[in-house]
Structure 1
Amino acid sequence: MVADFADNLAEELDFRLEAQSMEAWVSHLHASPLGKNIRVPQVHWDFTTERVLTMERVHGIRIDNAAAIRKAGFDGVELVKALLFSVFEGGLRHGLFHGDLHAGNLYVDEAGRIVFFDFGIMGRIDPRTRWLLRELVYALLVKKDHAAAGKIVVLMGAVGTMKPETQAAKDLERFATPLTMQSLGDMSYADIGRQLSALADAYDVKLPRELVLIGKQFLYVERYMKLLAPRWQMMSDPQLTGYFANFMVEVSREHQSDIEV
């Protein structure tokens, strides 16, 4: 915890690092059509130093002001899709995500795009952990191989209390099966979090800081989903289901190539 605090403090005290993280993050997201509604303030590098970050002035509506967003004619569904995409694409594909998505850091500009502010807290997921997370998703949701999923969690070095593999597989199956039987739009990330917490307690799981941080961002997104698109069914959305399908195909190919090697 002390080391994490020191790392974050060093980055937050050097605004050049924050600006670099911001530009790297948004460049990843703009590579996909789903990133079209995401932007960051332009950095004026000639006037930016270690102690001063100079950016364009942005006017907009706070992301949690649903009434004003609707009055302006902006599509809440598109905004929520952009938020979800920012966490999935940034965190699981590129290993870089905004680590503080409270409403004061998210504004909707005059073009209906979400402007992300304050990149002092950035989540970083190293390549090995990203690979393990993708394998975990593949094992749970595609192969439905709960024994393999349990082994992946152990590989993450997170489990303190070991139990027989058969018991661990059953526990993971009880957690994962409901996720495959309902649309994501019907899920509550808060409920999922509580179930995960109970499972973590049973196995004395100590999750890496970055995984806890990305989980917190999903809770923020759930709040905005209820405010801006309460009737939206995520897995009935062709653009988002296409994105997730392509993501899982990539994971499946990675898995197959590992077997062939």
Structure 2
Amino acid sequence: MLRAIRSTIRLARAARVLGRHDALFPLELRAELPPLLLALMPLAKIRLPWEAAPEASGAVAGERLAMALAALGPAYIKLGQFLVTRPDIIGAKLASELAFLQDDLPPFGLEEARAIIEEELGGPVEEFFHSLSEPIAAASIAQVHRARTRARTAEEEERDVAVKVLRPGIEQRFARDLESFFFAAEQIERRYSPARRLRPVESVETLAESVKLEMDLRLEAAAMSEMAENIAADKGFRVPRIDWERTSRRVITMEWIDGIPAADRDALIAAGHDMARLGRIVIQSFLMHAMRDGLFHADMHQGNLFIDAAGNIVAVDFGIMGRIAPHERRFLAEILYGLITRDYVRVAEVHFEAGYVPRSKNIHAFAQAIRAVAEPVFGRPAREVSMGKLLAQLFQVTDQFDMRTRPELILLQKTMVVVEGVARYFDPDHNIWESAEPVLKNWMMEKMGPEARIEEAAAGALQLGRVMGRLPEVLDQAERTARLLAESVDEEGIRLHPASMEAISRAGNRAFSGHPLLWMALGALLALILTRIF
């Protein structure tokens, strides 16, 4: 009861902010709203004397919503970033407009930052750092300071570092807002049946898990460390080194990057950097991270990229990461390569093989729909063609064929749009397809060519060997079970207690569906029973 009251009050306050920005329910979507909600909307737009007027007048729906979410604070900013990956919930147009939601807030004081650092690292700031600057950047969850380390041993060298510190009380604030989000999602599922297909509670759970990861800066450090290992042999792209001794749950310390911000194109040109090369590197690096490693930076806008003196692209802020499982990487690579080569039948086949589209649908009709989306794109100049937007249109088509939303693929598509924007910012004439084709082709040759098939078969044989090594044990257990069952056979058949039958049924449902050796054991069991009966 208290949870419902708390959540209702918080949601009412949020509704007022959204209403004043004309973003409670976007104008473009109001034809689909229940009449009761439309009748209540004017109340949310009333501005009290002490409230400032919103700045969203005349803005499109996504801009109005972005301004409102930014005014509501950190949890709502993260909600907006999450909704960008769910066009099935808010629509593709609104998701595209909302992609420009700025994740920046005023910084908190240096003394508060020092107190957090001392609590987390277990000693005075001066024990770890010679100096600690005022905040140089602030976002919804944390802010960044420049510092210089203090050598604590004779072997240690002093270094310039960036220190990222979580906002004070941010965990508690997120917990309160997430409680409200869960309450709202539960009410929507319970009371508005058309929205149940969008799984609002499951969506909030996904958001909560993502936020939980961002609240522990050790996990961000681990993601940076993992990517550094993945790309150690790559050229042109790197990530800052982590100072693990000065990193904890609420503080992360990393190498300071002396470089030109990727957003300063004039400075990059003045420094003599090859802009076409930078455009190529950012595209190819992103694709290699996603397809080869299955781990990619999911927030690669210009503000999170620097160019060092050697011409390397250096990424920072690893709070949002994307992961793609190996089999999904293969399917996605084939889809992208099929689009590049205009093999629409193969693209359709991959969707069916991956289980993205139900087998009940017509594969040739699906290929035709893909062609209808892709051909108009290929008829335009290369500089106007976006792989990310093409994927977005493809996902819209697949929705018509009952393809279930896959958040990890939408996150990749959203990031691809951002990365393409960076590439074309570097080089307006950059041909995305020419940069992408060799990466996808090489990856497919490596993972799907004859050598890869041999390795895959060898791995399968090794796994089979492990299973076969346990075969005597499995068959011995099956024989003992068969004897026990056989001893229970009389003129009326097998006698088992009802609870035992229920337990066997439950175990069978879990195990027999996926283990061929259990089917073999069942066969042996039946053979023994039949021998006893007949």
TM bracket, shorter-chain basis: 0.7 to 0.9
CA deviations on 1:63-95 (whole Å, 9 max, x unpaired) are 122111111111112222221122211111111
Structure 1 unmatched ranges of 5 or more: none
Query: Are residues 218 and 83 of structure 1, via their aligned partners in 2, closer, same or farther at CA, if it must alter by over 3 Å?
Result: same
Q: Is 1:188 matched up with 2:386?
A: yes
2:207 is matched with 5
- AA aligned opposite 2:408: E
2:446 is matched with 250
TM normalised by structure 1 equals 0.81
The answer on whether the counterparts of 1:161 and 1:204 sit within 8 Å (CA) in structure 2 is no
CA deviations on 1:89-111 (whole Å, 9 max, x unpaired) are 11111110001112221112233
Q: What is the 5 A alignment of 1:96-245?
A: 96-137=295-336, 144=343, 146=345, 148-159=346-357, 163-176=361-374, 187-189=385-387, 191-193=389-391, 195-233=393-431, 242-245=438-441
CA deviations on 1:120-157 (whole Å, 9 max, x unpaired) are 111001122123223434655569361x5334324544
Task: Report the 3-state secondary structure (helix = DSSP H, G, I; strand = E; otherwise coil) of the residue aligned with 1:42.
Answer: coil
Query: Are residues 119 and 231 of structure 1, via their aligned partners in 2, closer, same or farther at CA, if it must alter by over 3 Å?
Result: same
Distance (whole Å) between structure 1 residues aligned to residue 450 and residue 371 of structure 2? 23
CA deviations on 1:28-77 (whole Å, 9 max, x unpaired) are 2232xxx3221212211111112210112223222122111111111112
The answer on whether the counterparts of 2:236 and 2:311 sit within 8 Å (CA) in structure 1 is yes
Provide the alpha-carbon RMSD of the alignment: 3.3
The answer on whether the counterparts of 1:161 and 1:203 sit within 8 Å (CA) in structure 2 is no
The answer on whether the counterparts of 1:99 and 1:122 sit within 8 Å (CA) in structure 2 is yes
2:239 is matched with 40
The answer on whether the counterparts of 1:123 and 1:214 sit within 8 Å (CA) in structure 2 is yes
Task: Report the 3-state secondary structure (helix = DSSP H, G, I; strand = E; otherwise coil) of the residue aligned with 2:252.
Answer: coil
Distance (whole Å) between structure 2 residues aligned to residue 30 and residue 164 of structure 1? 45
The answer on whether the counterparts of 1:150 and 1:165 sit within 8 Å (CA) in structure 2 is yes
Task: Report the 3-state secondary structure (helix = DSSP H, G, I; strand = E; otherwise coil) of the residue aligned with 2:449.
Answer: helix
Distance (whole Å) between structure 1 residues aligned to residue 340 and residue 429 of structure 2? 24
Q: Which moved more, 1:6-15 or 1:112-121?
A: 6-15
The answer on whether the counterparts of 1:183 and 1:233 sit within 8 Å (CA) in structure 2 is no
- AA aligned opposite 1:24: E
What percent of counterpart residues are identical?
A: 31
Deviation (angstroms), 1:222: 1.9
Count of residue correspondences = 254
Q: Which moved more, 1:208-217 or 1:186-195?
A: 186-195
